[in-house]
């Protein structure tokens, strides 16, 4: 694809949001100081040489922004050995597991134990896409629990549907926690405005057509996971429900179909203090994209809508959708996409690395980001800002203090 650049409210709730933000900032400052002091006193080492232009401190912070997929299921597999080494030396800050990593329950638990024990400092994010229905990496045929799709949960006719939803997702979260996961890349908070949407509506991944349906179901999902000490990532900002194409294959243009209501689930969840992370979709809309045909995931406009006090005022982590999806790879190299995403405001990069299968990919990506800092294409302040948010969330996991709404 050719890339064509072209320039292109209640008082009480507000007060609550301000108080939450102030508390988070104070906690983050304390935890970041502690984390960096551990790195500076030699108790954490980093195999990647930052060179003369970037300090070891910056190199360490960059590592925390990277989550990668890898090949292999057992400790002795080359892909597993490589990613364990990268977690240990701080080259990457987390991993995402896919079906190629998952056999049976015993194998998966042993693999995650190895991954979790690798770092000596901050705990790694161990993430998975476990939504229920069509998207659940832990499949029943391999001995794991089966969970219904968001569509089935959202259409439950019971008057106590939110309570039933939380019970369902409590079982999901308990299984994930028992295996060692600490991040679920869900819930989907897209509104089902296009039932024929090939990646959302047609696959039953949305709770419903309106925010009044989606928001309480998403809150139940998040509450249940927080009770099990698992972070969540609401997706796909600013809204993938109206698209006519699958961003796994190509850039999804939502400029003629997107509706303002699609921001409402994020707003409601944030005001409840529930949002840990928000996943940026690979979408195009002039309100959220800096340039024509530039995905929202690489655009500062999209992050600004999330961050600004006159927007959503969100101060949690912004997570990329898989940067190995068609919407990105058809126009950008992995290294260029990574730099653009971080520069635009993304805090955590996800690369599935499935088709590539490169055991050293995390290290190469880390080097590319360090080089971007050295070249002046990526500012240290932007890296530190991302790092502070990541540390804050990891410390909440470490101390089991993820918030709950009820």
Q: How far apart are the first and last CA of the chain?
A: 47
Spans of all domains in the chain: 11-398
Specify whether 366 is catalytic. no
CB-based contact 343:47 (threshold 8 Å): no
- Whether 248 is a known active-site residue: answer yes
Q: DSSP secondary structure string, 246-264?
A: -TTTS-EE-TTT--GGGGH
Look up tokens 């232009």; give the residue.
53
Q: Is 346 helix (H, G, I), strand (E, B) or coil?
A: coil
pLDDT tens digits in sequence order for the chain, 406 residues long: 434 333 333 434 343 343 344 444 344 444 444 444 444 333 333 444 545 577 999 999 999 999 999 999 999 999 999 999 999 999 999 999 999 999 999 999 999 999 999 987 889 999 999 999 999 999 999 999 999 999 999 988 775 689 999 999 999 999 999 999 999 999 999 999 999 999 999 999 999 999 999 999 999 999 999 999 999 999 999 999 999 988 998 999 999 999 999 999 999 999 999 999 999 999 999 999 999 999 999 999 999 999 997 779 999 999 999 999 999 999 999 999 999 999 999 999 999 999 999 999 999 999 999 999 999 999 999 999 999 999 999 999 999 999 987 7
Q: What is the pLDDT of residue 156?
A: 83
pLDDT reported for residue 311: 79
Q: Which two tokens stand for residue 390?
A: 């990541």
Which tokens belong to 284?
């195009």
pLDDT of residue 19: 39
Looking up tokens 């969100």 gives: 314
Rounded CA separation 191/234 (Å): 12
Of 321, 324, 347, 358, catalytic: 321
| List of E strands, 5-160 | 66-68, 94-97, 125-128, 130-132, 135-136
pTM for this structure?
A: 0.88
Catalytic residue among 248, 253, 293, 360: 248
Quick one: CA torsion of 39, 42, 48, 53, rounded to 10 degrees?
A: 70
Q: Contact at 8 Å (CB) between 340 and 349?
A: no
| pLDDT value at residue 51 | 53
Answer yes or no: CATH 3.40.640.10 is held by domain 11-398: no
pLDDT for the residue 29 = 42
What is the rounded distance in angstroms from the CA atom of residue 77 to the CA atom of residue 71?
A: 8
Q: Can you tell me the distance from the alpha carbon of 191 to that of 188, in angstroms, rounded to the nearest whole number? A: 9
Angle at 207 between CA 205 and CA 210, to 5 degrees: 125
């Amino acid at each position: 694809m050719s890339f064509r650049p072209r320039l292109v409210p209640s008082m009480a709730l507000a007060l609550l949001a301000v108080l939450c933000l102030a508390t988070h900032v104070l906690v983050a400052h304390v935890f970041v100081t502690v984390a960096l002091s551990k790195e500076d006193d030699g108790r954490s080492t980093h195999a990647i040489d930052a060179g003369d232009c970037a300090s070891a401190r910056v190199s360490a912070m960059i590592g925390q922004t990277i989550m990668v997929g890898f090949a292999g299921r057992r400790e002795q597999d080359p892909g597993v050995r490589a990613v364990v080494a990268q977690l240990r030396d701080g080259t990457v800050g987390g991993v995402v597991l896919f079906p190629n990593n998952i056999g049976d329950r015993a194998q998966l638990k042993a693999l995650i134990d190895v991954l979790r024990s690798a770092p000596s400092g901050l705990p790694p994010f161990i993430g998975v896409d476990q939504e229920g229905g069509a998207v659940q990496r832990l499949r029943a045929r391999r001995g794991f629990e089966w969970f219904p799709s968001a569509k089935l949960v959202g259409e439950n006719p019971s008057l106590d549907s939110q309570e039933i939803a939380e019970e369902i997702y409590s079982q999901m979260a308990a299984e994930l926690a028992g295996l060692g996961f600490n991040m679920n890349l869900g819930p989907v908070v897209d509104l089902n405005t296009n039932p024929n949407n090939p990646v959302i509506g047609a696959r039953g991944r949305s709770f419903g057509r309106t925010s009044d349906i989606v928001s309480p179901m998403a809150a139940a999902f998040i509450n249940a996971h927080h009770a099990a000490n698992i972070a969540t990532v609401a997706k796909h900002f600013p809204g993938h429900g109206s698209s006519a194409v699958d961003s796994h294959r190509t850039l999804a243009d939502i400029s003629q179909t997107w509706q303002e209501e699609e921001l409402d689930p994020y707003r409601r969840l944030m005001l409840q203090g529930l949002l840990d992370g928000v996943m940026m979709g690979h979408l195009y809309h002039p309100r959220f994209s800096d340039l024509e045909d530039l995905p929202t995931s690489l655009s500062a406009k999209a992050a600004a809508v999330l961050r600004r006090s006159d927007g959503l005022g969100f101060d949690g982590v912004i997570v990329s959708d898989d940067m190995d999806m068609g919407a990105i790879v058809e126009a950008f190299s992995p290294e260029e996409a990574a730099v653009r995403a971080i520069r635009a405001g993304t805090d955590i990069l996800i690369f599935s690395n499935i088709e590539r299968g490169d055991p050293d990919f995390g290290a190469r990506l880390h080097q590319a980001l360090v080089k971007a800092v050295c070249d002046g294409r990526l500012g240290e302040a932007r890296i530190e800002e991302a790092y502070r948010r990541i540390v804050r969330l990891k410390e909440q996991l470490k101390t089991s203090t993820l918030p709950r709404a009820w």
